[in-house]
């Protein structure tokens, strides 16, 4: 029960970080958004972006589960954070790194879709958005 409460708090925290990052990007505060993005990745997986992008989704899932237990909702939040990272890289004119973030997010969303057994309209919308972002790069 304690571990589940911890997971829920962490998911809520990352959700708030995503909202703040979106606000910072909207206001053109790229450096602050980038800093918060790095903190979010560290909080969720205790890894930096380069390492996350180099690992397969099954490895990321194992790392996440080792830290928090099974939580597809948490992996979905990590995917959302990576989408934010892609958005930050677009603002920094680094399309190559943006695409890597979007592809990793796409893979995480796909894993959650396949394995969670739970249909989500929000997830479907996020998958569609990520696919469109990848197609434009």
DSSP 57-119: HHHHHHHHHHHH-S-HHHHHHHHHHHHHHHHHHHHTT-HHHHHHHHHHHHHHHHHHHHHH---
Per-residue model confidence (pLDDT) at position 9: 82
pLDDT given for residue 40 in this prediction: 93
The whole-model pTM stands at 0.91
Q: What is the mean pLDDT of each run of 10 residues along the chain (137 residues)?
A: 71 88 94 96 93 96 86 91 97 97 98 93 95 95
Whole domain around residue 21: which residue ranges? 2-136
pLDDT value for 6: 72
pLDDT of residue 33: 96
Report pLDDT for 95: 97
Model pLDDT, residue 3 = 64
* pLDDT given for residue 87 in this prediction: 96
Indicate the number of domains in the chain: 1
Please give the pLDDT value at position 67: 83
The confidence score (pLDDT) of residue 1 equals: 57
CA dihedral sign, ordered 20, 23, 27, 33: positive
């Amino acid at each position: 029960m304690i571990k589940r409460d911890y997971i829920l708090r962490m998911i809520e925290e990352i959700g708030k970080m995503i909202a703040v990052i979106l606000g910072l990007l909207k206001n053109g505060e790229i450096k602050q958004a980038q800093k918060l993005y790095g903190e979010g990745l560290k909080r969720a997986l205790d890894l930096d972006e380069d390492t996350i992008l180099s690992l397969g989704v099954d490895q990321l899932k194992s790392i996440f589960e080792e830290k928090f237990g099974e939580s597809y909702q948490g992996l979905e939040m990590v995917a959302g954070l990576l989408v934010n990272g892609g958005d930050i890289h677009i603002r920094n004119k680094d399309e190559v790194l943006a695409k890597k973030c979007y592809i990793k997010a796409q893979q995480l969303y796909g894993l959650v879709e396949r394995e969670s057994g739970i249909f989500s309209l929000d997830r479907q919308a996020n998958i569609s958005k990520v696919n469109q972002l990848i197609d434009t790069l």
